[in-house]
A and B are shown apart, each in its own frame.
Chain A
């Protein structure tokens, strides 16, 4: 039999004296009691924001894109900034569930469920922006390639914008499947614990008749592996293709070959920051500190300092190449409009640098990685920084076009542009509040899977193994 052992030097992934039953109790409790007042307040604020977003979109659809302040050179503004920002946030969940699964990072089990849910909601939010930006949204189906009656008018297969349609819809589909299949055993658990008929019926339907038989588990596990394999390239491809939206264009500041991997790193960076924001609150509100431990928070902060530094390396590479290229246009884009604090949008570049590159460096220190206040504050700072990054890329490159006569135009959003963005927050949090109420926010079955290796009380039991000489140990347990 495979020995359940890990080094005593590793922090437990589940704290406290837990057994399988206790795990089920702890995680199911929030679903089985009435929501708190705090939940209602949060939920209604989210719905209100969502309604404001709906109104803003209504204005835009009824009166046209003129409701926004986009202008002759700044044809993309807050809308595409927000699109890329949300898509980026939607990277952490699938990274945690797929890539960290392949890397066998046990700590992913504490946070993967909520992170995957967050991913799905973030992608839904992201999708709104290009959709409503079309103006005539009733023509949206034109993006799909099918033989049509519009003459020989096919979509442009050479356009990265079209690749986005495929990349994002594929990503969304696979992420949704991954998340949902993971939920099946847990839905089964909730169904079996249900006290009312309606509840039993509803959770019975969504659990697809999960019985917990060996056959089910076997198929469940193979499916998880297949989906992990599929999702891994998808995590990279989505933001790669988003970066192509810019990098294929001959626009100074956009056309740079490092964009694909650098966008992916940035996406993971912002995704983890959003997971941190949510987890720090969630663990407290639902009393899940034993499952989302300081060790989990620290691990995610390590990912943040790593990806933040990768992004920093890319920023500096770009800046250096802007100079090194000795190309007048590149130099103008990087040194006049961006890195120059006194240019019209200089503030956004330095905001980005401070939030994304300089501030995450505090996570080199263990004490700060394990401090919840610092973590929460930094997670917000990082997401502000990542919003700035997209704004810098889009607006600073566009507002200084090749045509100097258009230069004086300064772009700032209207209330409805901002309303649309706020509305996307409303959508995101409405979904998240519903998720937190009706879904198990931690994967019960997966926690049970690591419990006997990494649970605090179980680790104590195998402590003596540490003292055995290696050869004896190997003789006994190696395969």
Chain B
């Protein structure tokens, strides 16, 4: 019997592409920094740092979505995902890297930019003293807490994610074939996964989006905001997993991952696109229905002003396309179509993050420029480079995982 390819070797082409993307990104970063980043015009400066901010947060959250996927399936005792589990694991190694980048950018905005930035208006001490509402919020919106919570959030995601990946390495060891060892393995996975999920709930599903993103509009609030952010980043995260799986399949790896598994990932992409739309609609409709100016202010310029095009594009890409295209069974089992949809969804939610951040940083004018794409290329390049490395570190199949055989015969 021919042995299967389960040790990933980074193809030269992939390395070249990732380095090329990083170079293009760095070029954009340098030009952006020189022309906008250190500009005396506060508006240009805000655009530059705002662009860095939404990109870093977006890519951090979608990579963290991979770890969420692993932990959620672990807690649900899922078996079907084991044959490709190493892929989301590799993607989740980006959390410390993107976390560090996001941390540096956020800290510069909070501590380095001074109080005149339009990104976080609550940093402006004069404004806070003269504004009852901002003054009232200062217990939450202050640099000290921002620093503390950001460190804790990124730190614990990274730590618990690292712990999950470390546990996963045990599945390469024949000692795990023993039933008792398998039981203990599942148990230890469950404990760490539940810690991760709880911390995820306390950060991504609540505090972190308020602190990092919603506070860009410091007067505005919506209880749905964090769950919405979670849905947006998770559906893009699962699409990223799909994309990597398809890439590896095309290179001849992941022999046991079949269209059955792809089909189920497609279902996730489909279902969470609808779920995102559900949250989008609920938030929008309730604010529209009540028609109170302190709430509608968020949507006013997004629906009617400069962001009108992007606002509708967001719904078309992230709702209309997935529901129409991914509805069919055959679409979810088609590698080409799934590749297209995964790219589209990742792009679509990048647009969503763009309008969430830039729609508030620069409400008066919109438009994706070379800077937005350049910075995105930088993150994509880094992601390809490091995820490739992480994939090459371990065998792609956790051979002794107790559920691996269920996954091999999985059919949907």
Mark A residues whose CB is within 8 Å of B.
2-3, 5-10, 102-104, 233, 236, 240, 244, 247-250, 255-261, 302, 309-310, 313-314, 316-318, 320-321, 324-327, 364, 465-467, 470-475, 477-479
Contact = CB atoms under 8 A, between A and B. Distances in A.
B136 to A, nearest CB: 4
Contacts of B175: none
A478 B256 contact: yes
A250 B292 contact: yes
B296 to A, nearest CB: 12
B408 A257 contact: no
Interface in B236-288: 255-256, 258, 267, 274, 278-279, 282-283, 286-287
A258 B411 CA distance: 36
B409 A317 contact: no
A318 B223 CA distance: 6
B77 interface: yes
Given A3-B409, A364-B194, A324 B221 contact: yes
A248 B286 contact: yes
Interface string B397-412: 1010011111011011
In order of increasing CB-CB distance, the 5 nearest A-B pairs are A258-B223, A257-B224, A326-B136, A260-B282, A326-B133
B1 A261 contact: no
Contacts of A249: 290
A49 to B, nearest CB: 37
B39 interface: no
B227 A474 contact: no
Contacts of B312: none
A324 B227 CA distance: 17
Contacts of B224: 257-258, 261
A321 B221 contact: yes
A472 B224 CA distance: 50
Contacts of B75: 302
A470 B179 contact: no
B226 interface: yes
A187 to B, nearest CB: 30
A258 B408 CA distance: 40
Q: Which of B133, B274, B404, B405 has the most CB of A within 10 A?
A: B405
B206 A470 contact: no
B403 A7 contact: yes
Given A317-B226, A474-B408, 8 more contacts: A9-B402, A249-B290, A261-B224, A302-B75, A313-B201, A327-B294, A470-B404, A478-B409
Nearest to A309: B201
A224 to B, nearest CB: 15
A317 B404 contact: no
A3 B201 CA distance: 38
A438 B61 CA distance: 53
A5 B409 contact: yes
A375 B339 CA distance: 46
Given A9-B179, A256-B223, A479 B411 contact: yes
B34 to A, nearest CB: 38
Nearest to A99: B271
A236 B272 CA distance: 13
B179 A477 contact: no
Interface of B: 1, 3-4, 75-77, 79-80, 132-133, 136-137, 140, 177, 179, 182-183, 186, 194, 198, 201, 205-206, 210, 221-227, 255-256, 258, 267, 274, 278-279, 282-283, 286-287, 289-290, 292, 294, 397, 399, 402-406, 408-409, 411-412
A15 B412 CA distance: 26
B398 to A, nearest CB: 10
A467 B182 CA distance: 12
Contact of B287 (A10, A257, A471): A257
A7 B406 contact: yes
Contacts of A467: 177
A5 B405 contact: yes
A240 to B, nearest CB: 7
A321 B223 contact: yes
Contacts of A325: 221
Contacts of B258: 478-479
Contacts of A250: 290, 292
Given A240-B282, A466-B179, A477-B408, A317 B206 contact: yes
Given A248-B286, A257-B287, A261-B279, A2 B182 contact: no
Contacts of A310: 201
Contacts of B132: 326
Contacts of B133: 326
B25 to A, nearest CB: 36
B406 A6 contact: yes
A111 to B, nearest CB: 17
A321 B224 CA distance: 10
B286 A324 contact: no
Contact of B227 (A5, A236, A248, A261): A261
Given A364-B194, A466-B179, A324 B137 contact: yes
A317 B205 CA distance: 10
Given A261-B227, A313-B206, A324-B137, A248 B411 contact: no
Contact of B405 (A103, A321, A465): A465
A257 B402 contact: no
B256 to A, nearest CB: 6
Nearest to B201: A313
Nearest to A11: B77
Contacts of A9: 179, 182-183, 186, 402-403
Contacts of B226: 317
B287 A5 contact: no
Contact of A257 (B1, B210, B283, B397): B283
